[in-house]
Amino acid sequence: MIEASKIDGGVARLTCGMVGGGAGAFIGEVHRKALAFDRRAVLIAGSFSRSMENTLATGASLRVAKDRLYPTYEEMAKKEGSRADKIDFVVIVTPNNLHFPIAKAFLENNINVVSDKPLVWSSEQADELKRLAKEKGLLFCVTYVYTGYPMVKQARRMIENGDIGEIRFVSAEYTQDWLATPLETTGAKGAAWRTDPKQSGLSNCVGDIGSHVENTVSYMTGLSIKSLCARLDTFVGGRLLDDNASIMVNYGSGAKGLYWTSQIAVGHDNDLRVRIFGTKGAIEWVQENPNYLTVSYLDRPGEILSRGRDKLYPEAAKYSRIPGGHPEGYPEAFANVYRSFCDALSKKKAGEKLAKEDLDFPSLEAGASGVRFIEKCVESSKKGAAWVNLE
Q: Which sign, positive or negative, has the C-alpha torsion 95, 101, 102, 103?
A: positive
Q: Are 118 and 223 in contact (CB under 8 A)?
A: no
Tens digits of residue pLDDT in 265-316: 999 999 999 999 999 999 999 999 999 999 999 999 999 999 999 999 999 9
Flag whether pLDDT at 10 surpasses 60: no
* Cβ within 8 Å of residue 1, ≥6 positions away: none
Flag whether pLDDT at 65 surpasses 90: yes
Tens digits of residue pLDDT in 338-379: 999 999 999 999 999 999 999 999 999 999 999 999 999 999
Strand order from edge to edge, sheet including 112-115: 41-47, 14-20, 89-93, 112-115, 140-142
> Residue 294, SS3?
strand
Q: How confident is the model at residue 25 (pLDDT cuts 50, 70, 90)?
A: confident
Flag whether pLDDT at 12 surpasses 70: no
- All structural domains of the chain, each given as residue ranges with its CATH number in brackets, are 14-145 (3.40.50.720), 147-321+365-389 (3.30.360.10)
**What's at 1, amino acid-wise?**
M
Give dist(CA 300, CA 298) in Å, integer.
Answer: 6
Q: Where are the beta strands (DSSP E) in the chain?
A: 14-20, 41-47, 89-93, 112-115, 140-142, 167-175, 225-233, 244-251, 256-262, 271-278, 281-286, 292-297, 303-306, 387-389
